């Protein structure tokens, strides 16, 4: 079940974020992720609109939006490849006409995931916090054909 997050979900969201970050970003020292937890709790999560996927007795994934920026999409490692990320991304897409995000170049699985779901690379830069190269990607909902009929 996907639902909006509540303040009571914060600890579970942080646990999912940390476990998934450590797994997906093994090219960044683990200490970096451990040190970011309080910043996530105090600054990033309160600024975001968050939905969680609750199943199997707990929160297994979440997506966070700040305006049109997809700030986070993380799934607990043992629940990856089961459709949770796809469902959370669909929820995010349903909320906005376009989305942008940043993803580390070395995170091949995430880059492939976003490309499969309609995101395109718009530029590359270095993440100032880690020095790692990252891709800026964007998704835009296709405009519906407004010329469905014409009068003679």
The kind and range of the H/E element at 51 are strand 49-55
pLDDT tens, residue by residue, 56-113: 899 999 999 999 999 999 999 999 999 999 999 999 999 999 999 999 999 999 999 9
User: Residue 148: is its pLDDT beyond 50?
Assistant: no
Domain 2-140 belongs to what architecture? 3-Layer(aba) Sandwich (3.40)
How many residues in total does the chain contain? 152
User: Residue 151: is its pLDDT beyond 70?
Assistant: no
Q: What average pLDDT does the structure give for the chain?
A: 91
- The model's pTM is 0.88
Q: Which residues contact 110 (CB under 8 A, 6 or more apart)?
A: 24, 103, 104
User: What pLDDT shows up at residue 147?
Assistant: 43
User: What pLDDT shows up at residue 22?
Assistant: 95
Q: Which of 38-42, 109-113, 145-149 has the highest mean pLDDT?
A: 109-113
Q: Which residues contact 111 (CB under 8 A, 6 or more apart)?
A: 103, 105, 135
Task: Please tell me what DSSP assigns to residue 28.
Answer: S
Q: Which residues contact 38 (CB under 8 A, 6 or more apart)?
A: none
CA dist 116 to 28, 37, 46, 58, 133, Å?
25, 30, 30, 28, 21
- Of the candidates 47, 86, 84, which has an alpha carbon nearest to the alpha carbon of residue 69? 47
Per-domain residue ranges of the chain:
2-140
């Amino acid at each position: 079940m996907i639902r909006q997050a509540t303040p009571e979900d914060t600890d579970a969201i942080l646990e999912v974020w940390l476990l998934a970050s450590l797994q997906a970003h093994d090219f960044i020292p683990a200490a970096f992720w451990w040190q970011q937890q309080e910043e996530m709790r105090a600054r990033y999560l309160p600024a975001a609109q968050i939905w969680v996927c609750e199943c199997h007795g707990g929160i297994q994934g979440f997506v966070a939006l700040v305006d049109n920026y997809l700030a986070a999409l993380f799934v607990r490692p043992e629940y990856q490849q089961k459709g949770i990320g796809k469902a959370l991304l669909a929820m995010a897409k349903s909320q906005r006409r376009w989305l942008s995000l940043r993803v580390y170049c070395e995170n091949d699985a995430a880059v492939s995931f976003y490309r499969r779901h309609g995101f395109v690379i718009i530029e590359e830069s270095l993440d100032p916090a880690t020095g790692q190269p990252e891709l800026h990607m964007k998704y835009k909902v296709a405009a519906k054909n407004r010329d469905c009929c014409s009068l003679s």
